[in-house]
Amino acid sequence: MISMNQFDRLETIAQRLIEGIFSRLFHTQLHPADLARHLAVAVETEQPEVSQTESAHIPNYYDITLNPGDYSQLVAGSSVEAEVIRLRNYLTWLIQEANYQPVGPIRVMLEKSDAVRPGKVKIKTRYVNGNDGKHRTKTKEAFFVATHNAGQWALQFDDQTVSLGEPVIRIGRALDNDVILGDQTVSRYHAQLRWRNGIYHLYPPVQPEVVSEQEKTLRLNPHTTVNAEATAQCALKHGDVLTFGSTVLHIIVQDNS
């Protein structure tokens, strides 16, 4: 008879084969959660431009380019138009959450190119107001945090400490997360931390607007508490205690004084 610990170990090994070795060899598709993360990073790392009316504006045009294989997987069983609407709705939500103001209506172009490697995303942003457009290009490799303060943050759990520092941190049981938890009561994609205004904020793993109907690997309302209060979204600070499933995580912020 296989014990629960043995079963968990076997599941972990199988998951590592499927998501680790095999995905690196074949890169069959871009996970919807990964695409959502790219969009979140594109918004969170944008430097708003202050207009004469002192309103902070960010680009409103997002040209999203995928590898042809990832592109085909994304629109399979759907349509380009439907996926563009889904992505536009998600970007609108991200921008509203960041309290930014786009320079005009949000526009999304979804394209494919062999120049983009499988599993990667290229996002070109533009300010489009009338016929005037200023270009900016973002790729996964070019993302950065504007301040070094994010590197002073860490997560402490299970006798280990994981340094943060990226604009968006994905946390969950799946092996393609930034912080991987082995707890079977934790969702495969459980939560994300997003750097904004000098602190990290807790968010759900991904909003429903960007997840396809057939996507079965995400649980969008996982058991999450901060300081024993049930929540899926809040600002974080030093000393906060997060509970994901049965895993307890502590927020550590080094004193920079």
Is residue 171 pLDDT above 60, yes or no? yes
Residue 49's beta-bridge partner residues? 57
For the four alpha carbons of 30, 33, 39 and 44, in that order, the dihedral sign comes to negative
Classified as helix, coil or strand, 146 is coil
Share above pLDDT 70 across residues of the chain, in percent, rounded to a whole number? 69
Query: What is residue 234's predicted lDDT score, i.e. its pLDDT?
Result: 93
Considering only CA atoms, which of 165, 151, 145, 177 is closest in space to residue 247?
A: 177
Q: Do the Cβ atoms of 121 and 139 come closer than 8 Å? A: yes
Give CA–CA dist 164/248, Å, rounded.
17
The tokens for 36 are: 């959502």
HSE-up of residue 228 (Cα within 13 Å, Cβ side): 0
Give CA–CA dist 223/231, Å, rounded.
8
The alpha-helical segments, DSSP class H, found in the chain are: 4-16, 22-26, 32-44, 68-75, 80-97
pLDDT tens, residue by residue, 119-156: 888 999 888 765 555 666 555 444 444 456 888 999 99
Q: What is the mean pLDDT of residues 82-104?
A: 84
pLDDT tens, residue by residue, 13-66: 555 554 544 444 444 567 776 787 788 888 877 766 655 555 567 888 999 999
Give CA–CA dist 167/144, Å, rounded.
7
Predicted TM-score of the model (pTM)? 0.61
Is residue 218 pLDDT above 60, yes or no? no
Higher-scoring residue by pLDDT: 222, 195: 195
For the four alpha carbons of 34, 226, 161 and 199, in that order, the dihedral sign comes to positive
Is residue 222 pLDDT above 50, yes or no? yes
H/E element, 18: none
The tokens for 165 are: 């520092």
Query: What is residue 193's predicted lDDT score, i.e. its pLDDT?
Result: 92
Q: Do the Cβ atoms of 213 and 182 come closer than 8 Å? A: no
Q: How confident is the model at residue 253 (pLDDT cuts 50, 70, 90)?
A: very high
Q: Do the Cβ atoms of 190 and 224 come closer than 8 Å? A: yes
Classified as helix, coil or strand, 158 is coil
HSE-up of residue 87 (Cα within 13 Å, Cβ side): 30
Higher-scoring residue by pLDDT: 235, 46: 235
Instruction: Name the phi and psi angles at 42, rounded to 5.
Output: -60, -40
Q: How confident is the model at residue 210 (pLDDT cuts 50, 70, 90)?
A: low
Is residue 227 pLDDT above 60, yes or no? yes
